[in-house]
Amino acid sequence: MAKHLNSRAAAAKLSWQIIDKGQSLDITVSSFFEHNSYSPQDRGFIQELVYGVSRWYGELDAVAATLLRSPIRNKDRVVHFVLLVGLYQLRHLDTAEHAGVAETVSACKQLNKQWAKNVINGCLRNYLRAPSEIAENVDLISHPQWISQAIGKAWPEHLNLILAANNQRPPMCLRVNRRQNTRDEYLSVLAGAGIDAKADENTPDGVFLESPCAVTALPGFEQGSCSVQDTAAQISADLLDVKNGMSVLDACAAPGGKTAHILERCDNKIDIHALDISERRCQQLHSTLDRLELSADIFTADASLAPSWPLPKSGYDRILIDAPCSGLGVIRRHPDIKHHRRSSDIDALEKTQAGLLDNLWLHLKPGGIMLYMTCSVLPRENQQQIAKFIARTNGAMLINVPHPSALTLNHGVQTLPGLHDMDGFYYCLLQKQ
């Protein structure tokens, strides 16, 4: 992508690549900024537009359909995303109307679609003449039907809260590295840097920022003073309760946030094996630990198969399985899940989750504890998965999950976006008798 693209043109092209071409939002945006130079302000605006279009695509696409005389041809689909970028500004941002229209129209020329300027200009100006009438019959939930139906079946009384939360910008949460600062000390450092923040009541190391900022603006970030991590993910270290001298396995560890948190809690004085099936993601894991000056034995391995990594002689004291899942609990942070995930994926994910549970249970020592967790809100991946595991596994015993605010289920506990001040996660603690 050329460096001269203005923010709207860049956002339209990135959105097209993510939604139509199936590319990862995080990877696509990160790669773009690695190869193109933009000011911090422009970078922030491009990200806002890309996340916004991905988050509100269903609504924006329906509004666009009422404005266009005929659909944009497939070979010119990037123009459709120029229109969505314009509509997102007019519907969800406080962008001045003249700037929202003029700068968006100019994106057509930059994308070599000069012919589309009149189309985009006409659509946006027609929208401004009667926005409420144009969007009167538009479905505003902006979720694929299968996702809203699946969540509604699982949590009918909380459906509207969950869908609304999924469409909101998530708070920026930090995990304070207690090896370097207490939380109160770091809150004082943030205040001194002019960054408004407050302690997270749900976890002892968590901090909420009043407004998101670049990690480069966080005092001591490069030196490991803190990490970006949602509350729900931080709670895993609380539940696992690792003590010095224990042997620990983090079975699906990349990019390394939970591994790092466990090591920070134990002052880097435990033996921990961190696995991931992807070599690229293992490199991310190395980078995470290097920044925080932590150490673990990292292996590229499939944890659902016979171990290709060295096992402790007597088994592990603690095993963490942050299982591959649908991700339907973290849509607010990863809105491209709406576009990439399919209902047919769940069957394969269930098999993977069951394989991880069965295989890794063999390597947990008697009396040891396993934490199974997902960032899903679907029972099939969560309590139903665990119920089946317990039914087929001798010596698997449920233990109480001391979670500060989650919903208590027959098997484990669940947090839900909109109901709890965190992402949607499932947790279950199992002990080997």
**Residues designated catalytic:** 375
Record the tokens describing residue 104, joined without a space.
């968006």
Contacts of 359 (CB under 8 A, 6+ apart): 303, 304, 305, 306
CA distance 342 to 232: 24
Query: What end-to-end distance do the CA atoms of the chain give, in Å?
Result: 57
Question: Taking the CB of residue 65, how many other CB atoms lie within 10 A of it?
Answer: 11
Q: How many CA atoms lie within 13 A of 302 on its CB side?
A: 6
Q: Are 173 and 207 spatial neighbours (Cβ–Cβ below 8 Å)?
A: yes
Query: To 5 degrees, how large is the angle CA 424–CA 11–CA 108?
Result: 150
Q: Are 1 and 35 spatial neighbours (Cβ–Cβ below 8 Å)?
A: yes
Amino acid (1-letter code) at residue 208:
F
Record the tokens describing residue 191, joined without a space.
């205040």
Question: Taking the CB of residue 209, how many other CB atoms lie within 10 A of it?
Answer: 17
CA distance 260 to 6: 38
Q: Are 369 and 316 spatial neighbours (Cβ–Cβ below 8 Å)?
A: no
CA distance 342 to 337: 9
Can you list the positions of beta strands (E) in 101-257? Answer: 173-176, 197-199, 206-209, 226-228, 247-250
Measuring CA to CA, which residue among 338, 373, 333 is closest to residue 229?
Answer: 333
Question: Taking the CB of residue 39, how many other CB atoms lie within 10 A of it?
Answer: 9
CA distance 153 to 156: 6
Q: Between 7-19 and 77-92, two packed helices, what is the crossing angle to 10 degrees?
A: 110
Record the tokens describing residue 426, joined without a space.
């499932």
